[in-house]
Structure 1
């Protein structure tokens, strides 16, 4: 097979990569220390160290807890735990909550060791069943801790959690945002995700519902739509803040909207932004119900809504309605576009987060509607 010669990147490409690496590395500063199990358990008990909301429902099974305790007894290395000190001086557990909660619960005699294979003689025992000397050795076991600098923002912390999580059970982005970025905009997202019409137009499986997929779709809708500037790119429109870092883009958007709406509520007692967002979302749902026989799915019996498909239809429709409100009454049938090869190519899942692909699928629907 003939090898194709790799095209070397130009200097601008390399410079942009170096710039991103430098900017991100500046945001991550930390110190390293060691604490004993006994010390950490005391802090957990007094709530000085705490598990953030997006991790509270992530719990190891009894078998996995037992396996971890067995590893400690065997003297195996324990992975680092990551903390972040909040503005009140308390320590948020960014990564390692499963291990620390397991240590706390074992020392509190809340579970019995089970399914151990290397140390099977310990099966059926609790902490209090071991000799005092073994209990003391366990309590004095040291665990290395990385404490993130206080200036590390929520976006960076939660992105780190998603990347370095060592617990084997991870929260998805929607769950992390819900837990780490509470506020009036996040409340609106949760409300709209449960809207009966939206539920009807987005038939998805129960596992995806449990993972808050509809909240993810609503967040993407507002993040892309309200960041779209139609005056850029010679009037064709662009999303200038989107740099092909979707997780950071969504987190920053939610954080900014939470703060903006909270400010409106504080100064005026009401938020015009919430009313506008809710109204536009409901209008788009009503429009999609008119123009797309199967809503955001591919068929009458469809039970999945690919994110790329949702983004194309929802945001493309919203931009078209912003440009020409009379479209709502004309409501052209969107089926010819949805069944076209152009739409199939635009909504392929590969390279879905590349900015050109994102803009391409949104503008395809927008432009098709505006020509009708």
Structure 2
């Protein structure tokens, strides 16, 4: 009984704490209002979401049919930016579809479409098949533009940690965003821009091998983020990589990398690319993140130490049995993270 009571109290405390962090407003806006806001840049679709414009014309047509029939559409979810514009969190396909159907040139460009949507595949409103919005009567066009859509907006009273959590939970597009793509949306700013810029640095690209399908989903930027986050505070890591990277990116979001940091990054990957011509791999085609952390941060710490560095030892380290112990099994334990980074560091300077 005592245990159940204490759990109930703990649960209530957690609910009270977390619920206070989430603050939303709700609106019923017409389709026309939403489109005008989107066209004016008052609603933003982050570049990362462009991968989610994947509905075919039949599915888009079904949504337009639902709007015209007055069938309730799931709420669009937005987050408020610092300049009071809204950024879409959930509902990219729905917003993209009504923009596609609208035929407005500026909106077609925003949703990466060349032509207005031509309705197809409908059963209930089969007379609409083959029509674009221009082919509808003025009363039908007015009906479409005045249909209400529910919008829920995470306002600026909610912190960025909550914002990341909601992007992750509500990310229901046809192609889900990666954690780094969500960070790119949530933690915008100079630091994020620097991560993207350094992710195209030549020696970094020759050192880090990723799947071809990961080239445009934030994977490279996350490797750069891991480098700086673990270099700055690997001893403070405590098991959750996602939370560790989120907190670091949140902390650094509004500032740029220093020239010293950027120079160290480039020197590190110059050393790695020269001594590991096949990249940070162990026979695989891709770079394991745990091996990357050990090698990249270990090399950077060795350079930063000011002691003589022996980079020729890197090739032998990839197959080193002791390093393998730190990069297999429970690789996200604090012991493993500290172990692999310091093992590489020490091997290069002793």
Q: What band does the TM-score fall into relative to the shorter chain?
A: 0.7 to 0.9
Residue number among 202, 224, 227 corresponding to 2:233 in the alignment: 227
Aligned equivalents of 1:325, 1:159: Cα separation in 2: 43
Residues 1-372 of structure 1: pairs in structure 2 closer than 5 A? 24-56=18-50, 58-63=52-57, 64-73=59-68, 76-108=71-103, 110-116=116-122, 121-130=127-136, 134-228=140-234, 238-239=235-236, 242-261=237-256, 274-289=258-273, 292=276, 294-299=278-283, 302-323=284-305, 325-326=307-308, 328=309, 330-331=310-311, 333-348=313-328, 353-369=332-348, 372=350
Provide the rounded CA distance (Å) in 2 between the counterparts of 1:55 and 1:293: 34
Residues 37 and 286 (structure 1), Cα distance of their counterparts in 2 relative to 1, 3 Å cut: closer
Q: Give the Å deviation of 1:305.
A: 1.3
Question: Secondary structure of the residue that 2:74 maps to in structure 1?
Answer: coil
Deviation (angstroms), 1:368: 4.4
RMSD: 3.6
Residue 3 of structure 1 corresponds to none
Match of 2:111 in 1: none
Residues 89-98 or 339-348, more deviating: 339-348
Distance 1:90 1:199, change over 3 A: closer
Task: Write the distance in 2 (CA, Å) between the matches of 1:259 and 1:78.
Answer: 37
Seen in structure 2, the aligned counterparts of structure 1 residues 308 and 298 have a Cα distance that, compared at 3 Å, is same
Match of 1:267 in 2: none
Alpha carbons of structure 1 residues 309 and 121: separation in structure 2 relative to 1, 3 Å: farther
Over 3 Å counting, the alpha-carbon distance change for 1:357 and 1:146 in structure 2 is farther
TM-aligned CA deviation for residue 252 of structure 1:
3.6
Unaligned runs of 5+ in 2: 105-115
Q: Post-superposition shift, 1:290?
A: 5.5
Count of equivalent residues: 333
CA distance 1:28–1:361, change in 2 (3 Å) = farther
Per-residue CA distance 1:81-103 (angstroms, 9 max, x = gap):
11233343333323223312321
C-alpha displacement at 1:296, in angstroms?
0.7
Q: How much has 1:112 moved relative to structure 2? A: 0.5
Q: 1:363 to 1:123 in 2, by over 3 A?
A: farther
For structure 1, the 5+ residue unaligned runs are: 1-7, 229-237, 262-272
Q: TM-score under structure 2 normalisation? A: 0.78
Offset at 1:28?
A: 1.6
Residues 292, 335 of structure 1: 8 Å contact kept: yes
Judge conservation of contact 2:301–2:345 (CA < 8 Å) in 1: yes
Deviations 1:284-311 (A, max 9, x none): 2233345546331223xx5311222211
